[in-house]
Structures are given as structure tokens and as C-alpha cells.
């Protein structure tokens, strides 16, 4: 009963490096999301995918790209990491049949130095 | 644009000391208001969804209520294991994305 699985859990990057955060859900949900969480600012939406084959920008998309690889997987890519992207990243998923409740993964801690 | 404000930012309680957390929101149309619990180093865990003013939901020592402008999360006779950050989020009509408040961190001392 994994739910939403994210990898890696911890990562340290140097400024300018690139990396991809992976996310997979096993709940057959249609919609998937990437949020970031910073102290005092709550969770902010980066990108979301309403269904397989579609992606849209959220509140803070600059510096990120996403890929909805299939119904289960939704990856987040940082092309050229910046210290401002130091944060905790959460992947999440939802579907209408579950009342559109969003279920979260355990988080990925990213530090850019 | 949705706005969600939670107060207080932090709450320290003695075990058994009941209290309430506030979530005020501004949306053009509310589809649902969600409460989550988040433990340190973990992802948010779903607690409740409220859909219309006057609705109430309960789970163990937690009770959530909703009006047209705000929601309250009441913690009755809290225990140390209720210590966590409680997040409020709104979902607008014809949308499925959530807009979150900054959260209230609750610490319950034995």
C-alpha cells in the first residue's frame, strides 16, 4: 500500500547542476501535482497534471519543468539549480472518485549550495 | 486569487487543555475546505473535507467546522501525540488544485 512514492528523499546540488525528482502513485489517480514547502510560506503549487498527457503551470513554475510519463509517474526537473530552489518538494495525486482529496508523498529534501 | 490565512502560527498546550485553530479564506466559490496534519519530516496527511457552511466532522479528539468565511479545528483534551502542524487548504469551484495556508504548529506538553 505505497500510495505516492518520491525519490530521492535527500539531495544536495551545486548551483547550476540539473536533477530530476521522480514520483509514482499506485492509486490509479488521474491528477498529479508538485508542491514546494518553505518555512512560513506553506505549500505552493509548482506544476500539475490534470490527466495523462497534460501539464499546467501552478503558482511558482519558474526554473522547473515536468513530464507526465504515464498515468502513474510525474517527474519534476530542475535544469539549472539555484539556491532559491532549496526546499522540500512534495508530489501528490488525486482523483474525482476520491472526492478530489489530494494525497501526498513523504517529500524530497533538496539543498542547492 | 485564493487567500488562506491560518492563526495562530504556533500553539503550545498542556495535555488536556482544549483549544481551537482558525482558518480564514477568500475564494470566489468554495468547492471544499481541507484539513491536513503534518508531522516533522513527513508529508501532509489528510484529515477532513468540509463542503458547505454549517458542516462539521470529527475524528478522535479533532472536530472541524465551517462557516462562509472560516473554518475551525477544535482539539479537545489534546494528548502529546496530537503535536503536529495542521494545514488548511481550499479548493475552488470547478477546480481541483489546493491553495494552502501556512499552517499552525501545535505542541502539546505532558
What string of pLDDT tens digits covers the 110 residues of chain B? 558 999 999 999 999 999 999 999 998 899 999 999 999 999 999 999 999 999 999 999 999 999 999 999 999 999 999 999 999 999 988 887 899 999 999 999 99
CB atoms within 10 A of CB A47: 22
Mean of all residue pLDDT scores within chain A: 94
Chain-centroid distance of CA A34 in Å reads: 3
Residue B89: name the closest of A35, A96, A89, A105 by CA.
A35
Task: To the nearest 10°, report the CA torsion of B109, B64, B94, A35.
Answer: 10
Output the CA angle A52-A58-A60, nearest 5 degrees. 135
d(CA A99, CA A102): 9
Q: Which residues in chain A show pLDDT less than 50?
A: none
In the block, cell 474525482 appears at A96
Count Cβ atoms within 10 A of the Cβ of residue A11 and give its class: 0-12 exposed, 13-18 middle, 19 or more buried.
middle
The confidence score (pLDDT) of residue B34 equals 96
The confidence score (pLDDT) of residue B95 equals 80
Residue of B nearest to A48 (CA): B97
* Cis peptide leading into residue B68 (ω within 30°): no
Output the CA angle B40-B21-B104, nearest 5 degrees. 30
Output the CA angle A60-A63-A65, nearest 5 degrees. 90
The confidence score (pLDDT) of residue A99 equals 74
Give the contacts of A90 (CB within 8 A, at least 6 positions apart): A6, A34, A35, A36, A37, A43, A104, A105, A107, A108, B43, B44
Q: How far does chain A reach from its first CA to its final CA, in angstroms?
A: 35
Q: Are strands A87-94 and A103-104 parallel, antiparallel or unpaired?
A: antiparallel
Put simply, whether A40 touches B (Cβ < 8 Å) is: yes
Put simply, whether A99 touches B (Cβ < 8 Å) is: yes
Give the contacts of B107 (CB within 8 A, at least 6 positions apart): B10, B11, B12, B13, B83
Q: Which helix (H) or strand (E) holds A11?
A: strand A10-13
CB contact under 8 A, A101 and B34: yes
Test mutation, A43, A51, A58, A60, chain B, max B CBs within 10 A: A43
Count Cβ atoms within 10 A of the Cβ of residue B99 and give its class: 0-12 exposed, 13-18 middle, 19 or more buried.
buried
Test mutation, B97, B101, B104, chain A, max A CBs within 10 A: B97
Amino acid at each position: 500500500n505505497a500510495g505516492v512514492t518520491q525519490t530521492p528523499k535527500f539531495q544536495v546540488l551545486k548551483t547550476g547542476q540539473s536533477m530530476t525528482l521522480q514520483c509514482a502513485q499506485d492509486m490509479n489517480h488521474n491528477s498529479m501535482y508538485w508542491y514546494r514547502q518553505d518555512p512560513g510560506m506553506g505549500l505552493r503549487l509548482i506544476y500539475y497534471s490534470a490527466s495523462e498527457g497534460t501539464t499546467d503551470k501552478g503558482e511558482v513554475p519558474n526554473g522547473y519543468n515536468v513530464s507526465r510519463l504515464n498515468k502513474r509517474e510525474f517527474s519534476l526537473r530542475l535544469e539549472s539549480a539555484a539556491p532559491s530552489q532549496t526546499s522540500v518538494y512534495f508530489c501528490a495525486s488525486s482523483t474525482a472518485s476520491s472526492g478530489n482529496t489530494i494525497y501526498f508523498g513523504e517529500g524530497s529534501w533538496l539543498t542547492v549550495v | 486569487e485564493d487567500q488562506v490565512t491560518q492563526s495562530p502560527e504556533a500553539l503550545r498546550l498542556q495535555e488536556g487543555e482544549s483549544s481551537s485553530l482558525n482558518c480564514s479564506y477568500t475564494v470566489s466559490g468554495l468547492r471544499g475546505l481541507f484539513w491536513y496534519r503534518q508531522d516533522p519530516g513527513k508529508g501532509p496527511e489528510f484529515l477532513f473535507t468540509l463542503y458547505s457552511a454549517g458542516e462539521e466532522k470529527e475524528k478522535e479528539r479533532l472536530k472541524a467546522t465551517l462557516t462562509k468565511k472560516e473554518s475551525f479545528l477544535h482539539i479537545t483534551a489534546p494528548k502529546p501525540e496530537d503535536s503536529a502542524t495542521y494545514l488548511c487548504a481550499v479548493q475552488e469551484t470547478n477546480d481541483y488544485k489546493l491553495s494552502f495556508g501556512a499552517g499552525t504548529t501545535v505542541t502539546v506538553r505532558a
